[in-house]
Structure 1
Amino acid sequence: MSISKELQVLKEFKCPDRCVLSAYVNTNPADPDQLKGAWRIHLKSGLKRIEEYITASKDENELQAFKKLKDKVVKEIEDHQHDLHKGVVIFASENPELWSVHYVQVHVRTSFHWEDHPVLEEMEYMYKAYPEAGIVLPSFGEVRILDTAMGFLNDELIYDFEPNLQGWGDRKKSSDDDNHPAIGSSKVDVLEPRLKENLGRFYKGMGEIVEKLKKERGWKEIHVAGEAELAKAFAEILREKPASCIHKNLNNSKPYEVLHQVFEK
């Protein structure tokens, strides 16, 4: 399920009384406030404050329901403590049942909520900044496409261009691709007219593929990044203007570096 669809489901979730625990936890190891796993302290102290509040209300059923969810949330995060990213967002309820976990690669502000509905404002803010998006990296030798959401790479596709054969095909990214000779070769200004014409046809066909991927994968945005002439040329063949067009060759960059350039610059 896409994040946009899951958010819609969460918006419709409701309890007769308070039963939903919404937990936002900053686990970013690069954050000075998270030195030596400080997220553990913030997690347990935040949940303890809610437990104390419920205890004071003297509703034993509500307290027991919260304790079960608290233990489940703590176990979930501790079980994944060795592969945490920048943040964790969890929405949980016992009755009716709800368990929605998101390990995200975007900044999360630690907070905890106990309500009759999931508290989604922070999640919606993050999604607005990092929606489902396709990042297109055109070069002379290939077009590289990153399928992303919430700062994560979902998939990576590469379409090769054979200039003399007017042919092209798609392939998955592999470890051997780092030495692919065509990557970054984009001196379109010195190409023969015939090769420029073939490249134009290649880009036109790729534009149709990108539009199809946008529909199939639910992208809210398309971003283009490449050397100026190639990025401009590819952006112009798209039916909808891209959300951004960055004049920088990122084809040799790792996916997380590309995402940083596109979304955080």
Structure 2
Amino acid sequence: MDIQKEIEKLEKIYLEKSNKILTMYLNTDRSDPDQQGGEWKIHLKNGLRNFESYLNEVDNEEEKRNYSIVRKKIERYMKENEQSLARSVIIFATADQSVWFAEKFQMPVQTEFEWKEVANTSQLRELHQTFPKTGVILTQKEQVKVLDAELGSLKQSHHFQLDLDTEDWREYLGPHESRATVGSGGKSTQQEKFRERFEANRYRWYKSLASTLDRLAKHAGWQNIYVVGDKEETNDLLNHMNKAITDVIHKNMLNHKEKQVLHEVVL
């Protein structure tokens, strides 16, 4: 999903008469001291009930029906996704289904509800400006993992592994269980030979991968790029990538869980 395009699409919509847009920003962050007991359920219930109370005083049966349809859709979505919530939920919805945007995010929001002719995209736009399309490049010897993220959430991962026989980088899309490196097992002489060969060719090998990473960054539209790994390996990429690097972190995180990496590096 291209969040920027979704925001632009939402901001062009203006509804009239009884068909309005419900905007919902709901804080579901379990790490928030005010959310330890699942208080988001109370905030959701109260937020939706407030509009119902208001509409009961309005002589517009069609608008009441429309709101009832939207409310049931939101309640059903929250119930179905209760076990997989992150730190926030953002929803834009209409009764006629011309608008339905429902996403869980890793960043907290200020709980807010609106029932108007237009969508209130202010918080979503602010989140997108703070956490734009981002690439995280993780290096570890002959393995490189690339995380493609937006708004703190993983969109796709790429795994590159150097074939030591052909000296070509092979790409694996999606989950890929990397094999053990030559230097991580076997006899000490094999480990030493691997280290010597890797150090002798590291600069050239990483140079050959840099152009691939530049193309990936351009295609994904990354506005921020983080390179994470040992100093020598990250320096090799910095010297050969044309794309500007936002930050370099000298830490081995290639085998960490992807959510953990994004939390430590991006958020």
TM-score, normalised relative to structure 1: 0.86
Q: 1:46 to 1:121 in 2, by over 3 A?
A: same
Which segment drifts farther, 35-44 or 196-205? 196-205
Q: Which residue of 1 aligns with 2:238?
A: 235
TM-score (norm 2): 0.86
Change (3 A) 1:175 1:198: closer
Query: Equivalents in 2 of 1:171, 1:112: separation in Å?
Result: 42
Once the two structures are TM-superposed, the CA of residue 169 in structure 1 deviates from its matched residue by: 1.1
Cα distance in 2 for partners of 1:144, 1:200 equals: 18
Match of 1:219 in 2: 222
Match of 1:140 in 2: 141
Unaligned runs of 5+ in 2: 185-193
Deviations 1:150-204 (CA, angstroms, capped at 9, x unpaired): 2222222211124565232122465743x633699xxxxx965x74463223222
**Are the aligned partners of 2:206 and 2:233 in contact in 1 as well (CA < 8 Å)?**
no
Instruction: Kindly indicate whether the alpha-carbon contact (under 8 Å) linking 1:15 and 1:116 is maintained by their aligned counterparts in 2.
Output: yes
**Are residues 251 and 173 of structure 1, via their aligned partners in 2, closer, same or farther at CA, if it must alter by over 3 Å?**
same
SS in 2 for 1:94: coil
AA matched with 1:252? N
Report the equivalent of 2:212. 209
How far does residue 69 in structure 1 lie from its aligned partner after superposition? Answer: 0.7
8 Å CA contact 2:226–2:248 kept in 1: the answer is yes
Write the letter of the residue equivalent to 2:244.
Answer: K
Q: Is the alpha carbon distance of 1:85 and 1:183 closer, same or farther for their aligned partners in structure 2, counting shifts above 3 Å?
A: farther
Q: Verify the 8 A CA contact 2:202 2:233 in the aligned structure 1.
A: no
Structure 2 match to 1:200? 203
The answer to whether the Cα contact below 8 Å between 2:156 and 2:174 also exists between their aligned partners in 1 is: no
Superposed CA deviations along residues 97-146 of structure 1, whole A, max 9, x for unmatched, are 21111111221221111111111111111112222211101222211111
Partner residue of 1:187?
Answer: none
Per the alignment, residue 8 of structure 1 pairs with 8
Instruction: Work out the CA distance in 2 between the residues paired with 1:139 and 1:175.
Output: 15
The answer for unaligned runs of 5 or more in structure 1 is 185-189
Question: How far did residue 41 of structure 1 move?
Answer: 0.8
Question: Given the alignment, which residue of 239, 246, 250 partners 1:247?
Answer: 250
Cα RMSD over matched residues? 2.6
Contact 1:20 1:91 in 2 (8 A): yes
Name the SS of the counterpart of 2:56 in structure 1.
Answer: helix
- Given that 2:134 and 2:150 are in contact with CA atoms closer than 8 Å, whether structure 1 keeps it comes out as yes
Matched with 2:92 is 91
Letter in 2 for 1:9: K
2:155 and 2:61 map into 1 onto residues whose CA distance is: 43
User: Which residue is 1:34 aligned to?
Assistant: 35
